[in-house]
Structure 1
Amino acid sequence: MYHHGLRGNVKEKILSNLPQKLPQHLSLELTPECNYQCPYCYCLWHEFPELAERRLTTEEWIKVISYIAEQGVNDLLFTGGEALLFPGIRELITHARAIMPDGKLSLFTNGSLMTEEMFLFCKEKKVYLSTSLQGLQSYGAMTGTERTFQPLLELLAFGRQNKWKVSVSITVTQANRNEVCNIFAAAALSGAESIQLGAMMPEGRGRQHLELTLSRAEWELVKEEIREMKNCGVSYSFCDEMLCECRVQPEELLKRFQNPDSKPCPAGKTFGVIGPDGTFRKCLHYWDKK
């Protein structure tokens, strides 16, 4: 497992620490900082704080992006933490688009810091946008804030008006379970490009909040309810992964969450992650700490 931080001479460290063949899709976790405190957050630095002790600078990230583009990577997701808290986000997007004119660039954000100017900048640079709508009445509890859901629906509507729709993810927990259909409908009617639903995973901060997890039977009921809804005019999908199978899991968690029909995980083959300190991981939910 390649997991060393990119320190000193970034170019040399990339050459020595990244796999010889990089996955075509990479998630770049630009910062561990976030203005939300979602109890289900799967970011690994909640379990392994050392992953966030050092953060790459804008200049270092530019060197990282240059290198991975040279290796043929053509699909980048800018994320965090909250990606819009990274001060050099525009510089990174501008650089990535300049050296990857035909590449797929995406940005995941909780939406709270998105301005009209930033939105239109992303549209100009052809950066696909995605966000999460985690509740209506439960929005505050689901985000660990006193915020409400209305600004996020306004963001979706703005995307529709400007012909650059935003994709939406919904994480289902015991806190928002009873309003999932309403959340789905609100996102669809506000102009979501597509919707992905998934059950909370007991990883990251979520490892400390197992009381919020669904059983696999409960998750199957959620899927059935969504399928029975009237056509809302939006495409949707389900993420059935409820437990990271890249890592050794306690027997208790395997019994509760393991998917009996799971297929081999493509982590490290079709996608990978570079964390805030330059650490390469094959999986969002696992770090081979050595």
Structure 2
Amino acid sequence: MLIDGHGRKVDYLRVSVTERCNFRCQYCMPEKPFSWVPREELLTYEELFEFIKVAIDKGINKVRVTGGEPLLREGLENFIRMISEYKEGLDLALTTNGYLLPKVAQKLADAGLKRINISLDSLKEEVAAKIAQKNVLKTVLKGIEAARVAGLKIKINCVPLKGINESEIIDLLEFCKERGYEIRFIEYMENDYASKYAKGLDSVEIQNIIKEKYTFKKLERCGTSPSQEYELEDGYKFGIIEPHKDDFCSTCNRIRLTASGVLIPCLYYEDAQSIKEAIKAKDIKKAVEILKDVLKNKPEKNRWTENSEISARAFYETGG
């Protein structure tokens, strides 16, 4: 069992397989050139898997594959299969922008993927293109449908931005409600790599827009999810992720590993340590020592609540 320095059980590992992305979203990295880290700087799938096996043996029971855009890394279905075949019943999920899903959704499901989170920030082509800086909507919608046909459990992620897609909050909720997908609205997380013009809606503003048409109630928090759940009168549930609060930090159960081997204890924090050299040298014992030290120093809570600080974390390196 993995326990951090505050007595929290850590059983969730998020693994980024690439920092590359085929979108340039306003809230993530709109001005970053289309470049990539040299292959030799990344851990191979086999090297990542060596660490994942140890983490699972020590108590990790949920693994989420992220990016960047994870589907940009070739052979991802093989990596998914490695993980799924290692432990029966493992909660194995993927976060993606959905653009490449039409061609690979079935392959991922066949490899053992169970769940998928797909970003959908707009149902209007021009708005989606403004956010992603690319004409993406039709292909993303095809990707969502391909995931459904493949039998994957789908959640939709949306980042509401003022003056851009805030008028679509109800439309997006209804799109998901009609199809049986849970939608999670995510408060924009201020970071150094986002557009300086990006302004997000907070949880209260999102709720007030939904209240214009629907009555809903706040549900009690259960488990370790960072999402605050709400329920409409007909039973449909949606979530809001509120990083500017820290009430979910007390049950944080996750740790992050980047494609280049950096273990990150908190989405906000810069504090991290690399296991790259240990893994490259096949020194698993050393990698485990580093893991334990990272967990020991895992912060009690994030810093977005402190003076509205802006994170220097590059979210494209770690996913959400």
- With the length of structure 1 as denominator, give the TM-score of the two structures: 0.72
**Partner in structure 2 of residue 226 of structure 1:** 210
Q: Which amino acid aligns with 2:86?
A: I
**Partner in structure 2 of residue 278 of structure 1:** 261
Q: Which amino acid aligns with 2:123?
A: L
Q: What are the within-5 Å matches in structure 2 for residues 1-290 of structure 1?
A: 23-41=10-28, 54-116=41-103, 118-124=104-110, 125-137=112-124, 138-147=127-136, 149-174=137-162, 175-189=164-178, 191-206=179-194, 209-214=195-200, 216=202, 219-230=203-214, 234-242=236-244, 259=245, 262-263=246-247, 265-266=249-250, 269-288=252-271
Which blocks of at least 5 consecutive residues in structure 2 are unaligned? Answer: 1-7, 215-231, 274-320
Q: Higher mean Cα deviation, 99-108 or 82-91? A: 82-91
> Residues 282 and 266 (structure 1 numbering): CA distance in 2 closer, same or farther, change over 3 Å?
farther
- Whether contact under 8 Å (2:102, 2:142) holds in the other structure is no
> Residues 156 and 182 (structure 1 numbering): CA distance in 2 closer, same or farther, change over 3 Å?
same
Residue 226 (structure 1) shift? 2.1
- Whether contact under 8 Å (1:156, 1:192) holds in the other structure is no
- Paired-residue identity, %: 20
- CA–CA distance in structure 1, aligned partners of residues 47 and 151 of structure 2: 33
Which blocks of at least 5 consecutive residues in structure 1 are unaligned? Answer: 1-20, 243-258
- CA–CA distance in structure 1, aligned partners of residues 147 and 100 of structure 2: 15
SS of the equivalent of 1:73 reads coil
**Residue deviations 1:101-155, cap 9 Å, x none?**
1110001111111135x222333314211101011331011112122x2332333
- Whether contact under 8 Å (1:25, 1:272) holds in the other structure is yes
- Whether contact under 8 Å (2:98, 2:144) holds in the other structure is no
> Residues 29 and 162 (structure 1 numbering): CA distance in 2 closer, same or farther, change over 3 Å?
closer
**Partner in structure 1 of residue 311 of structure 2:** none
Q: Which amino acid aligns with 2:80?
A: I
Q: Which amino acid aligns with 2:170?
A: C
SS of the equivalent of 1:23 reads coil
> Residues 62 and 112 (structure 1 numbering): CA distance in 2 closer, same or farther, change over 3 Å?
same
- Whether contact under 8 Å (2:65, 2:94) holds in the other structure is yes
Higher relative contact order (CA 8 A, sep 6+): 1
Residue 84 (structure 1) shift? 0.6
- CA–CA distance in structure 1, aligned partners of residues 130 and 83 of structure 2: 36
> Residues 68 and 53 (structure 1 numbering): CA distance in 2 closer, same or farther, change over 3 Å?
same
SS of the equivalent of 2:206 reads helix
> Residues 192 and 171 (structure 1 numbering): CA distance in 2 closer, same or farther, change over 3 Å?
farther
Residue 61 (structure 1) shift? 1.4
Number of residue pairs matched by the alignment: 240
- Whether contact under 8 Å (1:58, 1:88) holds in the other structure is no
SS of the equivalent of 1:141 reads helix
SS of the equivalent of 1:90 reads helix
> Residues 92 and 38 (structure 1 numbering): CA distance in 2 closer, same or farther, change over 3 Å?
same
- CA RMSD, aligned part only? 3.1
**Residue deviations 1:179-207, cap 9 Å, x none?**
22222223333x2521101121102522x
